Amino acid sequence: MNTTTKRPAVPAGTARVITAAGALATAGSTLLAWTYTSAYPGNLTVYGYPGGLQLLTLTSGLITLALALAALGVKGLRWLAPAGTTKALRLSALAGLGTTWFTVVSIAATLGGLVHLEPGAWVAAVASAVPVAGAFLLPDDTRAPAAARELGSWAEILIIVAAFGAGLYVITYGIDTEYGELFTGYLITVGLTAAALSKSGLIARLNALTAKHRTVTIGAAFAAAAAFPFTQTSDQYTSVAANILIFATVALGLNVVVGLAGLLDLGYVAFLGVGAYAAALVSGSPASPFDVHLPFWAAVLVGATASLVFGVVIGAPTLRLRGDYLAIVTLGFGEIFRIAVNNMDGSSGPNITGGPNGVPNIPDLVILGYDFGQPHVIGGITLGRFANYYLLMLVFTAVVVLVFARANNSRIGRAWVAIREDETAATAMGINTFRLKLMAFALGAALAGLAGTVQAHVSYTVVPEQYLFAGPVPPNSAFLLAAVILGGMGTISGPLLGASLLYLIPAKLQFMQDYQLLLFGAALILLMRFRPEGLIADRRKQLEFHEDTAPPTVPDQKTPDETAGLTKAGA
């Protein structure tokens, strides 16, 4: 006789109440002191005023509370979770638990023991575990995603503007973090919260709104990005943001080659170097052997053209190769470029690039009387040197995004995707694969050269060590490729996000400098296992890697006219 009894399940309503109560307790615990000494950064010793990592725990607790109230059916909050709340609650509760427990452990490890914890830290540790337990007691959501309620155009536009405003605040907070512990907690909170909002369906709902109001979305995105320097009081963090934009723009150019055309280029950073050296040599540097000082627009054309020419010269004899053979050849080109500019010092070769010393003392830009090297007061806010170059690089990023979007949606872009998916089949369809691959290679090289012209002026000096295959400081070829894969190949926002993470994490976590290749390699392995399409994937990649969860519709189904146009593009 079987005497095993089945344990009664906790009612869903009770689990939701437990989750909501735990989230409220987690948020309330941040009003207590977590340690008695200010030796730990962030000043967690004040009662009634959260600071440092406590603010991240407070944010996670409030978001979990909002989702729990939405699960309880509170009117006005169900809009937050059209796809269900269970998975979102679990991830959001884990964000609070992870941030809180990281803080408690970090305090003990930094100050030398648990004795340095105040009772508030113990309350927070216990309270943050309650919503996790409640969320995992909830049954899985089985209902279909709720249809979005029709809103007025003005309300939808306000939601888009508010979303970009919140995004600006979150990004600014991450860049402005002053110490490694806070940035680590920021990564835990933002990463798990973003996943929670994705599972809730809120991000998909926002994406639908941005697709509906594309013009407003583009304007809001550019305005939010342009507002970043005006939130800073010095150039300390604006310099990081300017370099992130350079890295992200180059990664987006590589996305043309790798993400659209499917060409594995391991020497792409050389094209960035060609553009930077070409612009440096004609921008009036005293170290340049050419007595030339072209205006900036002309230097940009020189840098982009030089990179484009190198792309054609290198691509013409090598693009008949495929796969690993092409990767090896492009890797060789990157090393040849670095060695060549290192030897053009007047001793081992002609005196052109200055050899190991590079081209120093590149003058600051002056465009229409606006000196980028001098601070300027705009609207009562002082913009320093890096803020000026950040705004200039933002314009270049917008140009590269426009070029990528136009190319991706054109007949040539569809032909590139066909080549990426199956080059043999594309050839059988009549596509001139060699010509189109050469076009992708040349376009990607030109976009990298475009960014290189600004990089040369931002860094003042161009040296060969900046253009390695894998080095301690991005951008380099390995990190550029990792940014494209991590963010999501073939998308616009994916490489921008991937490049931002890969630049910002080593800049904020100095202890990772000696282990970054190991850690990023492990991160890529985990990414390939759990999300092979990247952090931000296009619809085709999602269907390719997750066929079991794909909707019963076939995306990008081509009409006969589009098929004829695809063939015409490769003719």
Q: For position 546, what pLDDT does the model report?
A: 59
- Rounded mean pLDDT, 431-459: 88
162 falls within a domain: yes
Same domain, 135 and 196: yes
Same domain, 182 and 324: no
The percentage of the chain sitting over the pLDDT mark of 90, rounded to a whole number, equals: 20
Number of CB atoms found within 10 A of residue 46's CB: 14
Q: Whole-angstrom Cα distance, residue 356 to residue 371?
A: 29
Same domain, 276 and 372: yes
109 falls within a domain: yes
Same domain, 288 and 190: no
66: containing domain: 12-142+153-223
Buried b (16+ CB within 10 A) or exposed e, 414-425: bbbbbbbeebee
Last-in-domain residue among 223, 243, 265: 223
Q: How many domains does the chain have?
A: 2
Q: For position 3, what pLDDT does the model report?
A: 46
Q: Among 168-177, 386-395, 413-422, 506-515, where is mean pLDDT lowest? A: 506-515
Which class for 263: exposed (0-12), middle (13-18), buried (19 or more C-beta within 10 A)? buried
pLDDT, tens digit, 9 for 90 and up, residues 468-486 = 877 666 677 888 888 888 8
Q: Whole-angstrom Cα distance, residue 66 to residue 59?
A: 11
Last-in-domain residue among 223, 255, 282: 223
pLDDT, tens digit, 9 for 90 and up, residues 307-316 = 999 888 888 8
Same domain, 197 and 342: no
Number of CB atoms found within 10 A of residue 315's CB: 26
Q: For position 142, what pLDDT does the model report?
A: 60
510 falls within a domain: no
Same domain, 69 and 136: yes
Q: Whole-angstrom Cα distance, residue 264 to residue 364?
A: 35
Same domain, 208 and 271: no
Q: Per the structure block, which two tokens stand in for 258?
A: 């790798």
Beta bridge partners of 377: 382
429 falls within a domain: yes
Q: Whole-angstrom Cα distance, residue 476 to residue 334?
A: 10
Largest CA distance in the chain: 98
Q: Among 256-265, 428-437, 458-467, 511-520, where is mean pLDDT lowest? A: 511-520
- Rounded mean pLDDT, 104-118: 89
Same domain, 218 and 240: no
Q: For position 147, what pLDDT does the model report?
A: 58
Buried b (16+ CB within 10 A) or exposed e, 54-79: bbbbbbbbbbbbbbbbbbbeeeebbb
Asked if residue 428 has pLDDT above 70, the reply is: yes
Q: Whole-angstrom Cα distance, residue 76 to residue 332?
A: 59
Asked if residue 153 has pLDDT above 50, the reply is: yes
Same domain, 331 and 386: yes
Q: Whole-angstrom Cα distance, residue 230 to residue 236?
A: 13
- Rounded mean pLDDT, 497-503: 85
pLDDT, tens digit, 9 for 90 and up, residues 214-229 = 888 889 999 999 999 8
- Rounded mean pLDDT, 425-434: 86
54 phi and psi angles, rounded to 5 deg: -65, -35
Q: How many CA atoms lie within 13 A of 256 on its CB side?
A: 32
Last-in-domain residue among 223, 256, 273: 223
Which class for 108: exposed (0-12), middle (13-18), buried (19 or more C-beta within 10 A)? middle
Peptide bond preceding 475: is omega within 30 degrees of 0, i.e. cis? yes
The percentage of the chain sitting over the pLDDT mark of 70, rounded to a whole number, equals: 89
Q: For position 1, what pLDDT does the model report?
A: 42
Q: Whole-angstrom Cα distance, residue 341 to residue 461?
A: 14
Same domain, 161 and 136: yes
Same domain, 249 and 365: yes
Average pLDDT, the chain: 83
Same domain, 262 and 406: yes
